[in-house]
Structure 1
Amino acid sequence: MASAKDRILDSFEDILIKEGERAATMDAVAAAAGVSKGGLLYHFPSKEAMVEGLCQRLEALTEDDAMKIGAAPEGAARYYVRTSHYVDSPLDRAIVAVARLVQQGHPAAAKAFSRTQDLWLAALEEALGSRPLAQAVKLMGDGLYYSATFFSGNAQPADVTEDEMEALLEQVDALVARN
């Protein structure tokens, strides 16, 4: 079972994703996490402390993903583009929750979000040996992620078929080979 601290962060993240920052009150988070307000305050004495905790979570997950980029047997560019889908993973959830906080002007969230972007770009640049190539690959992946996280009027995620992904990855391979 997850620790109380993790349950609190999970609940905070969930409320941010589903209902937005205004709904993520201390009382709402405590209730969703199944802890008393005192229990929440023991781990996070303020809402800003929860924001910091969520930002730390995002940074840890991003650091792990950046290591995977550099070690990916299929190559860094393929890995980054292929994994640029919203699949409701812990990393995806942290990204969306922190993005909600960025939209509301939380400086710690903006810093964490910027660090996430920097870590991915640095991992790609190191693996690919070229900053412009790393930027191009990152922008492809970011575009896929953006498309996958925003829904059409029918509330269906914009998805890329397996055939479309393979065709895109062939283009990524060609771009990497040219460098």
Structure 2
Amino acid sequence: MGRPRSINRDKVLDIAERIVREEGATALTFDAVAKAAGVTKGGLQYCFGSKDDLVAAMAERWVEGFDAEVARHTPPDATLSQRARGYVTASACIDEATQTKLAGMLVSLLQSPRHLDQARRWYADWLKRLEPGSETERRARAAFFAAEGAFFLRSLGLVEMDQDKWDGVFDDILSLL
């Protein structure tokens, strides 16, 4: 008897992200992911549990990567302003394809109270780190909100912004710091 084939979670998450990016969040089904990954729907369910858990795994992987990118741009003993600069710099590096994928994931995630609470906790944690006490700290908090606003406006297709405009917006946001 042969060894059971295992599912490569990262490969499946890459495929799920591609489906969201190319076809939209509504196209993300276990059937579509299983077919594209060349695995059974049962194997996918065994690996992830539910579609909700698959979306959560996608979001968790992105958050971990984003937090690592922020850390890469932030000194270990960072001031509040330096933490905000690291966040804004990491946000500026997100390309349009990634933004589209993230917007689809967020729409799916925020339909679930469990995931909505998780997103709220993540933002609450960031906002605690950016608690203003001085003018510099208020500017850091404003830069955080400006970066998030730009991200969501572009990601949700509410404003059209090519890469040059995107870079200019983030240069302006960084000038707050």
Per the normalisation by structure 2, the TM-score is 0.67
Deviation at 1:28, TM superposition (A): 0.3
> Structure 1: which amino acid aligns with 2:142?
A
Return the match for 2:28 from 24, 42, 57. 24
Q: Distance in 2 between matches of 1:66 and 1:140?
A: 16
CA 1:35–1:19: 2 relative to 1, 3 Å: same
Greater mean alpha carbon deviation, residues 41-50 or residues 66-75: 66-75
- Equivalence for 1:169: 174
RMSD (CA atoms): 3.8
Return the match for 2:56 from 47, 52, 63. 52
Q: Distance in 2 between matches of 1:45 and 1:164?
A: 40
Q: Distance in 1 between matches of 2:23 and 2:101?
A: 15
2:127 aligned with 1:106: no
Tell me, what secondary structure is at the counterpart of 1:75?
Answer: helix
Q: Distance in 2 between matches of 1:40 and 1:137?
A: 40
Return the match for 1:76 from 71, 75, 83. 83
Q: Distance in 1 between matches of 2:52 and 2:86?
A: 34
Return the match for 1:139 from 145, 151, 158. 145
Return the match for 1:9 from 13, 16, 20. 13
CA 1:24–1:162: 2 relative to 1, 3 Å: closer
Q: Distance in 2 between matches of 1:93 and 1:169?
A: 23
Spell out, residue by residue over 1:89-144, the C-alpha distance to the aligned partner (whole angstroms, 9 max, x if none).
Answer: 87x577434312135x1223312322332343344449x99864443121111122
Cα pair 1:66 1:119 within 8 Å, conserved: no
Give the gaps of 5 or more residues in structure 1. Answer: 174-179
Cα pair 2:20 2:101 within 8 Å, conserved: no
> Structure 2: which amino acid aligns with 1:169?
L
Q: Distance in 2 between matches of 1:28 and 1:77?
A: 39
* Number of residue pairs the alignment of both structures matches: 166
CA 1:140–1:48: 2 relative to 1, 3 Å: closer
- Equivalence for 1:96: 103
Give the gaps of 5 or more residues in structure 2. Answer: 1-6
- Equivalence for 1:148: 154
Deviation at 1:53, TM superposition (A): 2.0
Q: Distance in 2 between matches of 1:46 and 1:149?
A: 26
